[in-house]
Amino acid sequence: MALIDVAGLSVSFAGRMVLDGIDLSIGGGDRICIVGGNGSGKSSLGHAVAGWLTNGPHLSGEVRHDGRRIEDLALAERARLVQYVGQVPMHQLSGRAFTVTEEVAFGPENLNWPAGDTGARVAGVLERFDLGHLADRDPFTLSGGEQQRLSIAAALALSPALLILDEAEANLDVAARRRLAAELAALPADAALLLLDVEPDLGLALGCRMLALGNGRLIDWSPGAGRPAGAKESPIHPAGEPILDVSDVAFGYPGAAPLYRRLSLSVAAGEAVALVGPNGIGKSTLFRLINGLSRPSSGHIRIGGRDTAGLRIDQIADTVATVFQEPENQLFSPTVRQEVAFGLDAEEIAGRVDEALARTGLSDAAHRHPLDLDTANRRFVTIACALARRPGLLLLDEAQRGLDRTNIARIEAIIAEERARGAAILFICHDPAFVARNATRVIDLDGDGKRAVA
């Protein structure tokens, strides 16, 4: 008997059929990778298999384990059966743990496992996912990549019969991706793995059974033609005057070692500069320093020649627009159009909003609630908000993460267009291929996180 049987599963949202009569059998030891574009229903399928979707007018069909419906299993039994790790690591955190160690122990302790067994499991997964040095940190102070490693470690601490990973590599640096692949390859022979991704690479590397999800249906996956038509190399535009100048900046969080002691870098008009480095080195923190949400303890940050020490956040925002890692944390308006229009002068709204929506492929979604969109389109809402301001400096924090090839081509076109307009772009990215195609220059935060190496 299969570990999980999915029969006739259909799911619809806002009148759109996302999954249409899905049948899938997952046995003990199976390795399955389902590849699909943004909005294809991968996450909805993962939620259903994990028992996160309940019966309602939007759902039909069944997910069963050992002849029983998944939603009828006791929560403790379901937790031991299947663990789902989603696309947004912060949303996986319990909110009940004050340290990384407590977060990993949260599941086993709630299942009332013996303290000795729990301690050994926690220590083991912390070591396997290179989290030991973060054991006493508050999970909410970690970087996105560190939180993703923590979420996967916490799931594996329960030794589930089925592990579901939705965009497993999206937040991880290159070294962490290698470590994850090695850990997944070493899963017990009777443990099942279900990968949900926009790209097939991890599934192919692990020898998974490859399936594709499109138009609500599962079919056998076959290699595509590579990058979509229109995804061209960025034209070269000569760099202009410096827009951003970071000089001898020092910063650290209370109770932690300094992230930077004398960090210096610059970005000029017309440049698209990639900021790379391992998870937790301080890349996203640098963006917060540039846009004024945090302030350096010493040194200077100048935007267009003006020292930000003397500027309010709204004054910095006249020149700097930021797209953060998690789009959900930036969205608050009831419609996409209102979100993009926020902060613009009345005479600017009509033309700028329509243009930004068209460039991000959101014209047809203008009157929808931003949080009703799929994850990729939520990110494009935040990009549209940035574009509508016509910033001199655009900060993109892993904006390409988790996007399918069509949407990757869209964001690459936006980068090229903004460079041609004369804007400076600083983007954080863990994808070497994306960096190679789009960066005019690469800045690598070194192993101590104290200086930039161009």
pTM reported for the whole predicted model: 0.76
Residues 6+ apart with CB under 8 A from 226: none
Buried-state track 186-222, b at ≥16 Cβ within 10 A, e below 16? ebeeebbbbbbbbbbebbeeeebebbbbeebebeebe
Per the structure block, which two tokens stand in for 354? Answer: 């329509």
pLDDT value at position 198? 92
Residue with tokens 């099942």: 192
pLDDT value at position 134? 93
Contact 452, 264 (CB under 8 A): yes
Where do the CATH 3.40.50.300 domains begin and end in the chain? 4-220, 242-453
Write phi, then psi, for 365 (nearest 5 degrees).
-105, 10
> What is the CATH T-level fold of the domain 242-453, as seen in this structure?
Rossmann fold (3.40.50)
Most distant CA pair in the chain: distance in Å? Answer: 68
Residues 6+ apart with CB under 8 A from 86: 43, 46, 92, 166
pLDDT value at position 225? 37
**Could you report the per-residue pLDDT of 226-256, keeping only the tens digit for each?**
434 444 444 444 556 899 999 999 998 887 8
Q: Is the confidence at residue 213, as pLDDT, over 60?
A: yes
**Could you report the per-residue pLDDT of 262-271, keeping only the tens digit for each?**
999 999 999 9
Minimal CA–CA distance to 33: which of 132, 181, 144?
181
Distance separating alpha carbons of residues 259 and 298, to the nearest angstrom: 12
**Could you report the per-residue pLDDT of 48-104, keeping only the tens digit for each?**
999 988 767 678 899 999 999 999 999 999 999 999 999 888 888 999 999 999 999
**Could you report the per-residue pLDDT of 396-429, keeping only the tens digit for each?**
999 998 899 999 999 999 999 999 999 999 999 9
**21 three-class SS:** strand
Distance separating alpha carbons of residues 253 and 260, to the nearest angstrom: 10
Write phi, then psi, for 254 (nearest 5 degrees).
-55, 135
pLDDT value at position 230? 40
Question: Domain 4-220: which CATH class?
Answer: alpha beta
Distance separating alpha carbons of residues 218 and 229, to the nearest angstrom: 24
pLDDT value at position 227? 39
Report how far Cα 57 is from the mean position of its chain's Cα atoms: 30
When pLDDT is cut at 50, 70 and 90, the band that residue 450 belongs to is very low
Distance separating alpha carbons of residues 198 and 403, to the nearest angstrom: 7
User: Mean pLDDT throughout 162-168?
Assistant: 94
Per the structure block, which two tokens stand in for 265? Answer: 């870098």
